[in-house]
A and B are shown apart, each in its own frame.
Chain A
Amino acid sequence: MIYLDNAATTKPDEECLKRAEKYLYSAYYNPSALYAEGYNVKLALREAKKNILSTVADDINFDLVFTSCGTEADNQAIFCGGKRGNAVTTQGEHSAVFNAAMELKQRGMDVRFAALNGDGSVNIDSLLSLVDDKTSLVSVIHVNNETGAVNDITAIAAKVKEKNPHALFHSDGVQAYGKIPFRLTKNIDLYSVSAHKIGGIKGVGALFKRKNLVIKPYIYGGGQESGLRSGTENVFGIKDFEFAATEKYAELSKNYQTARELNDLLWQKLDKSLFVRISPTNNSPYILTVGVDGLRGETILHEANDNGLIIGSGSACSSNEKKRYSRVILACGIGENIADGVLRLSLSLCNTREEVQTAAQILNKIVKNRKEIMS
């Protein structure tokens, strides 16, 4: 089976699992415990925090809070940051941010959504026009999870702070972390990441936080994670995340180049008379999103599955239009005919050139055949 849905989740790295295994079987103690065994686990957590932090930030200006997933990190940022005045985000956010922002709106806050460009990146003029002196939070996704468009959040954050230095700037970095060369700058206050998108296991995420930024906890309890995220830490998952992240960042540029070559090859091999490119050319090399005119993405997904290829789709098999089309794809200005047939092909370094070529062949064949039937 060829797996091209790595933006949904990646295969856990076996080496990292083996290295982290001792935190399941022998060093299983509660890191908050006072005895030496517990303390040693706490030290291991500290080491994990330091190593993960160092991948994209320095530990003088930044800290991080471990969470149970990227969604939790996003929710913590949105609910702890969006406190007064208005909040500004984009129409291209993952549901973890979008629905949290909608909840803020439901609670009476003025929430504003910036328009997108055709490739899924945020329209910066639209975003800046929504920011004013009453804005308390701005959240912009780093890599659009549906199209692979990369937002230059360093530049965007600087422009936002120019307009309102007091607004918190958050970015959902789930599809960027461990994949795109990038460092956190002083204008970025909060940054969410997830372990299972880069070879870690599900159930672990983190929220990078500017060090002197004071935010309230999202989950209350025993005071773990400096009181910002109570609950006994998932030590095994966090150590596994540390090892996966360290491994990814050791060869980030090389990996980026490999993924770029795979992505280019995949697009090259797809029949241009059948597929429309939705991803921009300067997309994240880990995501290639294409559309098929007049066919449903889900139909192709099932048939690909039967032919040994796993991919993602941007539409659901529902007659309910609200559920049928992706709101992000529609916000890109893409018509319903293509929006119905969106396919997201997402790569990891486990994929080979041969796999990518075979995947393109399978998709070309399926779509050609299905178009003939449906014509």
Chain B
Amino acid sequence: MIHSRMNGLSVGLPLLMVVLAGCATSAVEVVQVIEQPLVVEEAPPPVAEPVEEASFEVDRFDVDLGRFDGGKVWTFDNPPVDWFTEEYGIDADSAWFAKARLGALRLSSGCSGSFVSDRGLILTNHHCARESITDVSRDGESLLEEGFLAATGADERKVPDLYVEQLWGITDVTRRVHGASRIVRGDTERVQARRNKASDIEEQLGAAAAARDSTLHVEVVELYSGERYAAYTYRRFEDVRLVMAPEEQIGYFGGESDNFTFPRYSLDLAFLRAYDKEGNPAATPHHFAWSTEGASVGDAVFVVGNPGSTSRLGSVSQLVFERDYVLPQQVAALERRAELLRPFANSAESDTADALNNMWFNVSNTLKSFSGRLVGLQNDTLIARRSAAEYQVQDDLFKSDSLSGRYGSLFQELDELQLSKRAEAGRMAGFTFFGTTLGSRILLRALYGYYYANLQRRGFVDQEIITDVRKDALALDDFPAEVDESLIKLRLREIQEALGAQDPTMRSLLGEITIDSLAAGMVANTSLVDSAGFADLLDKGFLGSDDPTVRVISALAPLYFTAQQQVESFQNREDLLVAELAALRFALYGTDVPPDASSTLRISDGRVGGYVYNGTRAPAFTTFYGLYDHFHAYRDVSREWDLPERWRNPPEALDLSTPLSMVSTNDLAAGNSGSPLLNQNLEVVGLLYDGNIESLTNEYVFSDRAARAISVDVRAILESLRHVYGADRLVQEIISESDE
């Protein structure tokens, strides 16, 4: 899954990161609690000797740089007209790009989608609509499990809080934004001045747009780390209803095991519909026609969607740090949690099952993705390729006096920053994923409680922030006490190991008792086991209470916030340097290279095609025959390949040789889920839903050797709607304008 699987993790992360970033200033007073002087010593690398400079078996000079190493997520600001003509022989004029842009959608859930009829019908992934499906389920219904099909328009169910956005127009505002920072001195100040200006423009243009049409709003988008700014006008559809969703067992066929893999057989789709303010299906003249013919091997195909960011444009030293510290620490922390959760994940009581399963889902999904990246980074070829690219940039840089004067020391500064990060990495290791939802609910509530109390004490904090924090804190779901206790023990051990046995904080916290008895005592006597007890304690004053978590969190939170503060300061510095690097690249190569993905609309080109895998060749397509092969073959092993009742004995009319999934060489990133896969006539031939296991390393360098985007084939969608779901109304609507 390539959208919010990652978000599932990071939803928790930015949540608290944002919250706690605000705490950074107050942490100064909090720091006094720490008994240990800050000793800066080089942290031992968690897995291997850190590499001073990227070491390679592969000589960097032997590496052929790919024209598209930086990726192919083109903006609509600078569409690659010449490239498309050169490579695909198509006449992609401005009308072509406008059509591609206007048919595509961004969902508020973080996914992509597209209009596939003139009456607001939206195609997206089942995994993008999971929450929506749950939200519209009524008492006694379990639509996620059973699937949903609205028999008539009146049966379509409104999804609360879901909206979709269409990119209505783009205006370059670089000049206006940069103008504001012309006379500002200092890098940080200049960045701030630009952001302030951007936000002013956003407000101005937004107000003007809304005055014309209340469904319009404006976002100013930063491209090339601030070298370019554009005002994106979006048209928002606030009334979105669920039309059709298959059963989870087929929508998520193969489960977590098959996630990020191909060959694949899931029907990962859902249909929604946008309605206008009068409650009628929205008139959507800009939409994509359905191709009943589908695509063939070698065909040019285009993905239009909203990919998130990648790590393709940083420095090699950043990659090496990620390889030696960040990823090994995260992977190790995730592995420990996965092991801890495995026995609980499927056996929990029903009222905590969802929370546990979601966490298990997030942990295993993130683990798979991060492990894949780590393996990629440990491959010398990848680092060599990036090193070669970096040398190329340096080479080009030193050909220009003005550029070398301005950016000459940039790479060295980035290298040095990584050394500083290394010095802190060991101490921080114990707090990996602390303050996220990937851990004990009791500890997380205590952390919120601690922070909430500090916010209130400070007096000058906006009441709205305090209210938001409280709301977030109380929204946490519950875990069974035994799970929480195991997670607390694990966390305390991790902190103890990272800080060392002699660390005064842990020593005074533990006194004469063990971690196990400390955790057991906490869980047995705390009121933080559920939201009700927590709310009560927040009102009475958490820090003043005699809850056993107060003592523990008062010792740990300052350590965490200090570490966090350090991370923040490194991060700020790194952001600045990376922005300079982007500016340098822009100065050298201009818009020939697309800016990094930024959750805004992009178009990526590629071709349908299989690849070499597992000692043989993976085909470009799979079929329903493969679905049944998997259903039968795994039946004694796992329920992940089980099928819902109506699929077990398919009707004779269902042609099992119909293409089900397909792969293509398009570039993608998290956020692309639900994107339409279009042919050169801008007809839908597929519905993007994942990348294969080989695509994970595209995080660092784009490659189309074996990395593939995976889509549901439109022919399988039609075949299923017709013969399995009897969704004639939908079929008629979809194919009314197609070539059939």
State yes or no: do A and B come from one complex.
no
Measured CB to CB, the residues of B under 8 A from A are none
